[in-house]
Homo-oligomer: A and B are copies of this chain.
């Protein structure tokens, strides 16, 4: 009898998908950052309803030494980052918290203060949820609803051969602190989509190579990264491997038609002078992800990202 440890999270999800009922109005179902749904006549300009749930668990997504405000911030910001990845506008959140009875009330209030702070920053109302008792690790599950214009919405499947691959910010070493205090790239994603600069987009939660792998698989393309272009975060200590493999950077990874790349860079620097944007590679017809070094040699990259059940990232 196989266990979850043996088949990993992706293996489990593949098995579960076959069991799940489908229904009407589903524009995007399982397999992208959010579900996208046709709700009645739609939002303003025929917007789609975006739905996302995201959970954090003590000991997995945060350590015991994290402050309660950090825990709350991270839980909400992760879900916001998924709305950003679709170039959506977040609207309403519901919060479910699994709590031990012995927790100080003040600690729990501070968790909600952390969630409220980032929710408020992006105009999100917290409209429901519940607290449930647990004897195990503390956990929070955020359900987030948003909206996205049918034409502005961006999926993982939109990349085309020849597209330039961009990433915001710098990558790696998030575990040193950024993962508890990052800013979801909501504004940047909406700006990018509104100006037509994006073909495919995802937020980097599993790690650059792994998330680029999601884009390539959904778009049926490959990618070639340039080793000298990868923006390594100071927290990654100069390690290219960490920039490629570490999870939870929550930066935007997207592709742009090659002809627009220069214009994008100029417009970006005016719009977001304090956040870097870097072209790290191009989309290729050949499948798989390759890394090219300064000598022109290239080698295949394995998706050494984070899997929630298998310890391969250790």
Residues of chain A having any CB pair with chain B under 8 Å: 1-7, 9, 12-13, 15-16, 19-26, 29-30, 34-35, 37, 39-44, 46-47, 49, 51-57, 59-61, 91-92, 94-96, 98-106, 108-109, 112-113, 116, 119-120, 123-137, 139, 141, 143, 145, 147, 308-309
Contact = CB atoms under 8 A, between A and B. Distances in A.
Given A41-B43, A101-B4, A103-B3, A125 B53 contact: no
Nearest to A47: B40
A20 B116 contact: yes
A98 B4 CA distance: 12
Contact of A136 (B6, B9, B137, B147): B137
Say how many copies of this protein the assembly contains. Answer: 2
A47 B43 CA distance: 12
Contacts of A26: 92, 125, 127
Contacts of A53: 94-96, 128-130, 141, 143
Contact of A96 (B101, B108, B141): B141
User: Chain A contact residues: over half helix, strand or loop, or mixed?
Assistant: mixed
Contacts of A109: 15-16, 19
Contacts of A21: 116, 119-120, 124-126
A212 to B, nearest CB: 20
A11 to B, nearest CB: 8
Nearest to A114: B19
Contacts of A55: 96, 98, 130, 132, 141
A20 B103 contact: no
Given A19-B109, A19-B112, A60 B143 contact: no
A309 B120 CA distance: 29
Contacts of A56: 132
Given A4-B105, A51-B145, A145-B145, 8 more contacts: A5-B101, A21-B119, A23-B123, A25-B92, A41-B43, A53-B94, A53-B143, A57-B134
